[in-house]
Amino acid sequence: MNVLVPTPLHSYTGRKHVEGNGPTLRAVLEDLDRQFPGIRFRMIDEQDRMRPHIRFFVNGHQVFDLEQPLRATDDLRILQALSGG
Amino acid sequence: MARTTRKRSARSARPRVKAGSTGSPHRTTLLVATRKGAWLFQGDPARRSWRAEGPHFLGHIVNHLVLDPRDGRTLLAAAKTGHLGPTVFRSTDRGRTWKEAARPPAFAKAPDGTGRAVDHSFWLTPAHANEPGVWYAGTSPQGLFRSEDGGVSWEPFSMINDDAQYREWMGTVQDGTPDGPKLHSVIVDPRDPKHLYFGMSGGGVHESKDGGKSFRPLVKGMEVVEGFDPATVTFHDPHCVRMCPTNPDRLYQQNHCGIYRLDRPGDTWVRVGRAMPKTVGDIGFPLVAHPRDAETVWVFPMDGTTVWPRTSPDGKPAVYETRNGGSSWKRLDAGLPRKQAWWTVKRQAMAGDAHDPVGLYFGTTSGELWASRDEGRSWSALARHLPEIYAVETAAFA
């Protein structure tokens, strides 16, 4: 599926759009980590919790569960969410 | 894995130094970590002029940047951003290129999902001279980690991260400093790699004599906030602990509640800060030990009264020096602002070099970098308008 990567993670991917594969959000993130080692830990902590300022949207709807089922045709957007100076 | 290449930024005020052109160990480089990135300031042999290199990791929160003194070339940076999780970057070419750790410090995964997560790595310490490639890291929330491959991969170290008693002493996030409770001041005895110390804000000072298999508190004599019981380790807040390079049996400590000295094998800290002027007090964050004289240390007091402004007392910043182990203190403020300067210096943001006379350096919360080539007798601003400075270390590249 198409994955939109936020700018803070472009140092890993080198581009805005990448291809990720897997039946769940967890599996897609693991696939991304195989392609771009280290990227998952910047988004998901060691207890498998989403980091506070990282948000995941599937087809425009925010998801909070790593076990969220995904289809190959879904659109996954990863966003940074933070305000402040 | 993220790789970054140092950009030839137009931000530097002076021409950049070509790699290798300042390779003399006699030259001091300042490693400056800030809330928005890191800089290297390379001094000439006389320490009169300095060249800025950076920013590295612009936009990253960099808590510590340290050179491995054992090889004189490996730099580690503890970094995160406002959005992304914590990591460690490594360079072996004076910061021209950086490579991310394959396994940054992270707590063990708890089966029920309630375990702790590292918010940021805060403190980096190269291990013993006879343990090349070994490093320690202290984190927020309080955790101790070790790398045996030069910072590429990190593992939880010792029993403290998950020990029930230590977890109680660490308290909760609400008990910690405003930007998170921290494990800091990881110290390795140069005579014995198994003899270790660390401090926790909060949670006291701790010592291991068995290479980290076990630790025990070392808080006797330390005071706590009025109304609390000093017998409760949780209430102790050491801000910075330093071992004297020429006398590893002597430790100094800048604490939330005073300046202390401890002479081993004794186990009772003595509040030597009581000799500080009453109008200034003995509260602060950093402490620097003289590289050759165990009687001499420098501190940077801050206002710890009323609501704890954590600014220079009365807006008049000064370094204080003792030359007699804390029996008396002398104000050193020549060249520093005379009034209306309301910054302070964080616990990692003051350092000394190995020259004679010793060069002293500190970075401020308002982004100024100050230097003295004469052990604090006179000060001059080396840089201004940097982001808030979190750490300053001195380095001598091979």
What's the Rg (C-alpha) of chain B? 20
Pick from B2, B81, B109: which is nearest to A12 by CB?
B2
Residue B4, min C-alpha distance to chain A (Å) = 7
Collapsing DSSP to helix, strand or coil, B235 comes out as helix
Residue A51: which of B85, B110, B114 has the nearest Cβ? B85
Q: How confident is the model at residue B305, as a pLDDT?
A: 87
Among candidates B85, B108, B116 on the partner chain, residue whose Cβ is nearest the Cβ of A41: B85
Interface test with B, best of A42, A54, A67 (most B CBs within 10 A): A42
Looking at every residue in chain A, the average pLDDT score rounds to: 95
Q: Which residues of B touch A8 (CB under 8 A)?
A: 81, 83-84
* HEC-encoded secondary structure of chain A: CEEECCHHHHHHHCCCEEECCCCEHHHHHHHHHHHCCCHHHHHECCCCCECCCEEEEECCEEECCCCCECCCCCEEEEEECCCCC
Between positions 34 and 73 of A, the ones with CB within 8 A of B are 36-39, 41-49, 51, 53-54
Rounded-to-integer distance, Cα A9 and Cα A5, Å: 7
pLDDT score recorded for residue B7: 40
- Judge: B2–A11 Cβ closer than 8 Å, yes or no: yes
Closest Cα in chain A to B101: A38
Confidence of residue B5 (pLDDT cuts 50, 70, 90): very low
Rounded Cα distance, A74 and A78, in Å:
13
Nearest by CB: A80 against B1, B2, B83: B83
pLDDT over 90 (residue B59):
yes
B129 three-state secondary structure: coil
A84 confidence band (pLDDT: 50, 70, 90): low
B6-10, B113-117, B178-182, range with the lowest pLDDT: B6-10
Distance CA A34, CA A18 (A): 13
Q: How far is B365 from chain A (nearest CA, A)?
A: 15
Chain B partners within 8 Å of A9 (Cβ): 84
For residues A53-79, average pLDDT: 96
Average pLDDT of the residues of chain B: 92
More confident residue, B226 or B248: B248
- What is the DSSP track for B278-308? TTT-S-EEEEEE-SS-TT-EEEEE---STT-
Q: Are B372 and B321 in contact (CB under 8 A)?
A: no
Q: In this complex, do B1 and A36 lie within 8 Å of one another by their Cβ atoms?
A: yes
Residue B393 has pLDDT above 60, yes or no: yes
Residue-level pLDDT at A22 = 98
Mutate to test the interface with A, among B34, B83, B99, B162 (most CBs of A within 10 A): B83
Q: Which of B4, B82, B117 sits opposite A46 (nearest CB)?
A: B117
| Inter-chain CB proximity A37 and B1 less than 8 Å | yes
pLDDT for B118-175, tens place per residue? 999 999 999 999 999 999 999 999 999 999 999 999 999 989 999 999 999 998 777 7
**pTM score, whole prediction:** 0.92
- Is the bond into A8 cis (omega within 30 degrees of 0)? no
| CATH superfamily of domain region B3-10+29-106+117-395 | YVTN repeat-like/Quinoprotein amine dehydrogenase (2.130.10.10)
In three-state form (DSSP H/G/I as H, E/B as E, the rest C), the secondary structure along B324-373 is CCCCCCEEECCCCCCCCCCCCCCCECEEECCCCCCCEEEECCCCCEEEEC
Sequence letter at residue B359? G
Is A48 close to B82, i.e. CB distance below 8 A? no
Determine the Cα–Cα distance for residues B62 and B81; give it in Å rounded to an integer: 8
Mark yes or no for CB contact B118/A46 under 8 Å. yes
In contact, A13 and A29? CB cutoff 8 Å: no
Q: What's the confidence (pLDDT) of residue B4?
A: 54
Asked if A8's CB is within 8 angstroms of B81's CB, the reply is yes
Chain A residue numbers touching B85 (CB-CB < 8 A): 41-45, 51
**pLDDT at site A81:** 81
Main-chain phi, psi angles of B212, to 5 degrees: 90, 0
Cα–Cα distances (Å) from A81 to A2, A55, B35, B85, in that order, read 20, 7, 19, 13
Contacts of B116 in chain A (CB under 8 A): 47
Torsion, CA B159, CA B161, CA B165, CA B169, rounded to 10: 140
The CA-based angle B80-B81-B82, given to 5 degrees, is 130
Chain A: residue whose CA lies nearest to B1 = A37
* Span B361-383, pLDDT tens digits: 999 999 999 999 999 999 999 99
Write the CA distances from B291 to B153, B235, B351, B352, integer angstroms.
31, 31, 11, 8
* Domain around A20: 2-80
Spatial contact of B113 and B71, defined as CB atoms under 8 Å apart? no
Segment B347-356 mean pLDDT: 97
* pLDDT at residue B177, rounded to an integer: 74
Question: Are B115 and A47 inside 8 Å of each other by CB?
Answer: yes
Domain count, chain A: 1
Residue B22 pLDDT level (bands cut at 50, 70, 90): very low
* Domain contains A8: yes
Cβ contact B369:B363 at 8 Å? yes
Answer for the pair A32, A39: CB distance below 8 angstroms, yes or no.
yes
Instruction: Report the CATH number that the domain containing residue A54 is assigned in CATH.
Output: 3.10.20.30
Task: Summarize the confidence of residues B52-76 as an average pLDDT.
Answer: 97
Q: How many angstroms separate the CA of residue A71 from the nearest CA in chain B?
A: 26
Query: Does residue B272 register a pLDDT over 70?
Result: yes
ipTM, two decimals, is: 0.89
CA distances from B37 to A57, B86, B294 (A): 30, 14, 34
Using CB atoms, which residue from B83, B108, B115 is nearest to A53?
B83
Distance, in Å, from the CA atom of A30 to the CA atom of A54, rounded to the nearest integer, reads 16
Nearest chain A Cα to B60, which residue?
Answer: A8
Answer yes or no: is A7 within a domain.
yes
Q: Taking the domains of chain B in order of start, what are their residue ranges?
A: 3-10+29-106+117-395
- Would the CB atoms of B84 and A49 count as touching at under 8 Å? no
Is A74 a domain residue?
A: yes
- Give the pLDDT of residue A85: 65
**Which residue of chain A comes nearest to B114, CA vs CA?**
A47
pLDDT reported for residue A83:
60
pLDDT value of residue B39: 98
**How far apart (Å, rounded) are the C-alpha atoms in residues B376 and B298?**
9
pLDDT of B339 reads: 97
pLDDT at A70: 98
Contact between B264 and B251 (Cβ < 8 Å): yes
Backbone angles phi, psi at B153, to 5 degrees: -135, 145
Q: What confidence category does residue B2 fall into, taking pLDDT thresholds of 50, 70 and 90?
A: low
Mean pLDDT computed over B199-213: 97
Chain B contact present for A26, CB below 8 A: no
Q: How far is CA B82 from CA B13, B48, B65, in A?
A: 27, 36, 18
Decide if pLDDT at B242 tops 50: yes
